[in-house]
Amino acid sequence: MRRTTVSPLPQRGGLDPARLRLPEDGTWPTVRAYLVARLPRVDPARIDAMLAEQRFVGVDGPYAADSPYLPGGFVWFHRDLPDEVPVPFEVGIVHADDDIVVADKPHFLSTIPRGQHVAETALVRLRTSLGLPDLVPAHRLDRPTAGLVLFVVRRELRGKYQTMFRDRRVHKEYEAIAPHRPGLALPTVVRSRIVKERGVLTAQEVPGSPNAETRVELLAHRDGLARYRLLPSTGRTHQLRLHMCGLGAPIVGDPFYPVLEDRPLDDFTRPLQLLAKVLAFDDPVTGERRRFESRLRLAAWRS
């Protein structure tokens, strides 16, 4: 069994420290030289300041500016936080017990820290508000998508719940508001091959063997719009959004499909009308059948 190296730094504001492993074949003369090469977006002067403040730490304590490079060693540190636009919506709690927390993530809030979104994320908010420093997500939702996210209270249980999602043993239902297409025969099952390249915002449907499947059902329609139930069998990036767009019914408020829009981060006026509505599964710890339903509602249908 692989032994986990425990961080010598505590969390800060619900955030774990970053960890870097020093490559075994590294030839840098000092840890500072490695950090300058490894963190090209950080000004070397800032790295020097952080070293002086003893913010880069190894298993034996803080690194100095002249600390020799240690192949196979570790560096922990807390990143400088970006200036973030506060997301003016609360994270709801649908269920909480000793093992899991099921939260209602609002639109515009990331699930986990990433890129420009660090403190303004569901994970950090819940760790802080619930006093659960070891809380971790079992899966994720895109930042624009609202609805149910399953979090695990104890890290040692994370693998059991993540495996459910990996092995497709979780029943997931989504709700979407999109244009009504009277000529579209529903229900239907959409299958396609979806590819998402690193560094590219949008995903693409390309020729080839399908790796994504969604069942689309019509729930109701009025005034040119419709409520759809979406039942994904797979979990490719932007799968539901691409499949609805491919049917000629792009989801209301989608800034990516069919046209990529440049929206400022403080624009909360047009939420993507996509909701993770239901999660159901056999609990891998207790064995009981669990079913949770979001308490959120999509504004385009209410209005």
pLDDT for the residue 1: 38
List pLDDT tens digits, range 227-286: 999 999 999 999 999 999 999 999 999 999 999 999 998 999 999 999 999 999 999 999
Of the residues 16, 104, 142, 254, which is catalytic?
A: 142
List pLDDT tens digits, range 61-97: 999 999 999 999 999 999 998 889 999 999 999 999 9
Question: 112 pLDDT exceeds 70?
Answer: yes
E strands, the chain, are 18-21, 57-58, 61-62, 74-77, 92-96, 100-105, 136-137, 146-152, 171-179, 188-195, 204-206, 212-222, 225-232, 274-282, 289-293
Hey, what amino acid is at 101? V
- In degrees, to the nearest 5, what angle opens at C-alpha 253 toward C-alphas 247 and 258? 45
- Is 167 catalytic? The answer is no
Distance from the Cα of residue 63 to its chain's centroid: 32
Q: How confident is the model at residue 209 (pLDDT cuts 50, 70, 90)?
A: very high
Mean pLDDT of 223-227: 97
CA quadruple 46, 52, 53, 59: dihedral, nearest 10: 110
Q: Do residues 301 and 227 make contact, with C-beta atoms less than 8 angstroms apart?
A: yes
